[in-house]
Amino acid sequence: MADTAAEEAAPISAQQLCQVCSGELCCHSVCGSCLGDKSKRCPECVKSTDKPEPADGPKQNGTETDAPVIDSKKEQSQDSKTAEETKIQEDLQESEDPKKPEEEKKEVKEERELREKQTEMVKTVTAAENAINKLQLNTVSIEHSVTEVRAVIESQFEELQAVVERAKREVTEILEGEEKQALRQAEGIRVHLEQRCTELKKTQAQMEKLSKNKNDVDFLQEYSEWKKEATDVSLPGVYIGLMDRLNSFSRVIVDSTQELCTMVVSSYIEKVKDTCKNDKMGIKTTVQAIVAAKQNMSIPDPVTRDDFLKYAAHVSFDADTAHKFLRLTEENRKVTNTTPWQHPYPDLPERFENWRQVLAVESFYLGRRYFEADISGEGTHIGLTYKSIDRKGNESNSCITGNNFSWCLQWNGRTFSAWHSDVETPLNVEKFTRIGVYVDYTKGLLAFYGVVDTMTLIHEYRAEFLEPLYPAFWLSKKENIVALVAPGEPLRLKSPSPPTSPANGAVVSKMAA
């Protein structure tokens, strides 16, 4: 039975086929399908069937029975067949959808990229929060440091005031000494003159007495005696040169004061300004290097318009800054110079009072930013400036062309010019309707592009930006128009100065004249 069980456990081979139909055997000499009569079975199977099976079933007298072996073989065959069918179905599905593996790979790649970006975003947000905390601490530090320096200023200028007060006292004492000396001199002269005056009066009285003597002999005798005793009647010349001396004294005081003031300005104000201009000594906050430098390290510079649009920002005009001759429309995305028509804007500290300018609501700080604007009319200026630009002054430093913290581009009707610190740089470039403004704050780059099918660089600035940059616009002439472009808006084929009819042109020339 042990040998029989071993043979039953072995795989079915050609020697284990039915001698009649070559069908699969029941592991005995004859297959069940060829016995003819259902009641007839394999003799060995009949033997095993006639005997009652134990409750456990798998073993009898220590060996496995024939029926369980047959069932095991059938189950193995069915499992093998099911596995083959499953594999065939999978192969068919793969053959029907050959792109599925590629899509799965792409999906896995995108999921991985998303996780990486999420991780990077978490780091960026954490860095931004840390930057805010550092700024708050920096604000406290600045206030504390300025308080200490203010105390130094107070003490030093108190000392300077003490020196000035001491000099004032000493100069006053000198003046008072001169006064006392002059008064003593005057008093001595006065006493002397009074004495002389008394003597002269006596002489005068004697002379009157002699003149009344009628006796010639007595007159001659008395006159001879008086003449011998007569004193000198000459008077000293009195010259009071006090005013001359005081004028000289005043000139010395004035000259010394002017010299001292010049020295104070030179020693304090100019030196302090030079110190503040020094990069190593200036008071400034540098936050731009916290995150942006790492982010831009591996990012290539934009070349095509699609590249620039990746950094596109939604920009709108700030109505609180618009001059009263500027009209804002299209949800504050279009501005027109309506001179001489004013608009009833409220008076606000932020509003430009003399220059027809307007700022944007949004500011650019850290990283890369880009926006586009359609311009029309000569005298249109577009650029960037700090929020600290003066709004009420009429000097050039209140204009985006006339200070050292504004950078702008001007269209003059024929060509473009770049303006910075009241210095104009003419540019030899073609006309463009749409201007693209690109800022890489970390690199200190500001560039103006002519936007057509390709991006044409008009002019670029290199500077160290210390404050957030605000888009700024100066519409210097009537009917100047600037329209902010939504990111990705199609190009319009239009020149900066739209052609006009001869009649309209004549009217414009007449108005200009």
For residue range 77-98, what is the model confidence (pLDDT) as tens digits? Answer: 566 666 666 766 666 555 555 5
Final residue of a domain: which of 58, 78, 96? 96
The answer, yes or no, to whether residue 303 has pLDDT greater than 60, is yes
> Poorest-confidence range of 121-125, 214-218, 453-457?
214-218
Computed over its alpha carbons, how large is the radius of gyration of the chain? Answer: 56
Q: Specify if 508 maps to a domain.
A: no
The answer, yes or no, to whether residue 458 has pLDDT greater than 70, is yes
pLDDT (0 to 100) of residue 193: 80
CB of 409 within 8 A of CB of 457? no
CB of 479 within 8 A of CB of 335? no
Of residues 250 and 26, which shows the higher confidence score? 250
pLDDT (0 to 100) of residue 11: 46
Does 331 lie in the same domain as 253?
no
Does 270 lie in the same domain as 304?
no
CA proximity to 469, closest of 371, 347, 376: 371
CA count, 13 A, side-chain hemisphere, 146: 9
Strand 445-451 to 455-462 pairing = antiparallel
pLDDT (0 to 100) of residue 148: 85
The answer, yes or no, to whether residue 291 has pLDDT greater than 50, is no
Of residues 128 and 371, which shows the higher confidence score? 371
What average pLDDT does range 291-303 have in this prediction?
Answer: 65
Q: CA-CA distance, 351 to 112, in Å (whole number)? A: 50
Does 305 lie in the same domain as 374?
yes
pLDDT (0 to 100) of residue 121: 86
For residue range 129-175, what is the model confidence (pLDDT) as tens digits? Answer: 887 887 788 778 788 888 888 888 888 888 888 988 998 898 888 88
Of residues 104 and 319, which shows the higher confidence score? 319
For residue range 366-396, what is the model confidence (pLDDT) as tens digits? Answer: 889 999 999 999 999 999 999 999 999 999 9
> How much is the mean pLDDT over the chain?
76
The four Cα atoms 121, 127, 130, 132 give a dihedral, to 10 degrees, of -80
The answer, yes or no, to whether residue 182 has pLDDT greater than 50, is yes
Q: Specify if 504 maps to a domain.
A: no
Q: Which residue has the tokens 């039915």?
A: 18
Q: Specify if 512 maps to a domain.
A: no
The answer, yes or no, to whether residue 1 has pLDDT greater than 50, is no
Assigned token pair, 355: 């220059």
The structure's pTM equals 0.51
CB of 436 within 8 A of CB of 375? no
The answer, yes or no, to whether residue 325 has pLDDT greater than 60, is yes
For residue range 185-218, what is the model confidence (pLDDT) as tens digits? Answer: 778 778 878 887 887 787 778 777 777 776 777 7
What average pLDDT does range 105-132 have in this prediction?
Answer: 83
Does 216 lie in the same domain as 314?
no
Does 490 lie in the same domain as 385?
yes
Number of domains in the chain: 4
The answer, yes or no, to whether residue 71 has pLDDT greater than 90, is no
CB of 192 within 8 A of CB of 236? yes
CB of 466 within 8 A of CB of 384? no
The DSSP symbol for 360 reads B
What average pLDDT does range 257-269 have in this prediction?
Answer: 81
The answer, yes or no, to whether residue 491 has pLDDT greater than 90, is no
pLDDT (0 to 100) of residue 38: 43
pLDDT (0 to 100) of residue 70: 46
At a CB cut-off of 8 Å and minimum separation 6, what does 410 contact?
Answer: 379, 380, 381, 401, 416, 417, 418, 419, 424
Does 422 lie in the same domain as 278?
no
Final residue of a domain: which of 96, 124, 139? 96
Does 319 lie in the same domain as 410?
yes
The answer, yes or no, to whether residue 485 has pLDDT greater than 90, is yes
Give CB contacts under 8 A, 24+ apart, made by 506-512. Answer: none
pLDDT (0 to 100) of residue 83: 67
- Residue % of the chain over a pLDDT of 90: 32
What average pLDDT does range 236-249 have in this prediction?
Answer: 68
Q: CA-CA distance, 394 to 373, in Å (whole number)? A: 27
Q: CA-CA distance, 26 to 18, in Å (whole number)? A: 9
Does 249 lie in the same domain as 210?
no
Angle between helices 100-211 and 242-264 (to 10 degrees): 170
CA proximity to 61, closest of 74, 70, 51: 51
pLDDT (0 to 100) of residue 511: 33
Q: Specify if 178 maps to a domain.
A: yes
pLDDT (0 to 100) of residue 497: 47
Report cis status (omega within 30 of 0) of the bond before 468: no
Does 453 lie in the same domain as 395?
yes
Does 132 lie in the same domain as 206?
yes
Does 471 lie in the same domain as 326?
yes
Q: Specify if 509 maps to a domain.
A: no
Q: CA-CA distance, 156 to 391, in Å (whole number)? A: 35
| pLDDT interval class at 443 (50, 70, 90) | very high
What average pLDDT does range 466-478 have in this prediction?
Answer: 94
CB of 305 within 8 A of CB of 141? no
Q: Specify if 506 maps to a domain.
A: no
Of residues 458 and 283, which shows the higher confidence score? 458
Does 457 lie in the same domain as 345?
yes
Q: Specify if 474 maps to a domain.
A: yes
> Poorest-confidence range of 109-123, 404-418, 484-498?
484-498
The DSSP symbol for 155 reads H
Q: Specify if 503 maps to a domain.
A: no
- Residue % of the chain over a pLDDT of 70: 67
pLDDT (0 to 100) of residue 69: 46
- Domain extent at residue 180: 103-232
